[in-house]
Structure 1
């Protein structure tokens, strides 16, 4: 093969390979998002079923449903924008810590250093959401 023909052949095949690679990456991306979304729905349904079987829902159970809701919202945002919504992860962490805090208080019925540490972690996460906020969102 002559050098010019090889360059032309190489460029044509590189473009095709890039297109196929991008298609495979996008297909995997959508498949993974659907699997994650289905897992969130499945877990939420199982948790709700457990609450129904129990006959009542505790505050911790309701906060768990909020965690599933935020996870679903995060997948939806990522699906639409291809951007990881970091604030959603922080909101999930705050909700999980609030659930832990409530569970600890319900179990021990007394204040301790663990409660203060969890409250401090919640405060730090709340401050983090304020710091990472875009200036245009402050309006």
Structure 2
């Protein structure tokens, strides 16, 4: 199907909204990072939970940077963020969690790590072609 002038206009409009949202997410992440740093400064102590939160923000910024520079988003990035978020949850709530919940969160982290390995293996073993079906993703 050939795009008409309205579908091109719609694509451009959606692209502008997408870019604006990405900039907003980046700015919100930078503000959140500043708030976390201010909290660390006020407490005069750095905890593992603080570091994991900063790593979450770093991964979000890395993911945004990669998306803005390449126009693609590897599925690994959200998976990394998921692992860090689950690890932070464990660190923060370990004293209040029942054993089965700790096991479930740890198993979730393991499953996500396995998923990352599978995705990486698939990407190396079966790389994407630069065929015509990818042309619309790079624009």
TM range (shorter): 0.7 to 0.9
Q: Which has the higher contact order (CA 8 A, sep 6+)?
A: 2
Which residue of 2 is the match for residue 79 of structure 1? 68
Counterpart of 1:124 (choices 98, 101, 111) is 111
Larger helix proportion of the pair? 1
TM-score where L is the length of structure 2: 0.77
Deviant stretches of 4+, over 6 Å: none
TM-score where L is the length of structure 1: 0.77
Q: 1:62 deviation in Å?
A: 0.5
Counterpart of 1:51 (choices 18, 28, 40) is 40
The 3-state SS of whatever aligns with 1:122 is helix
Unaligned 5+ runs, structure 1: 1-13
**Root-mean-square deviation (Å):** 2.3
Unaligned 5+ runs, structure 2: 127-139
The count of corresponding residues between Structure 1 and Structure 2 is 122
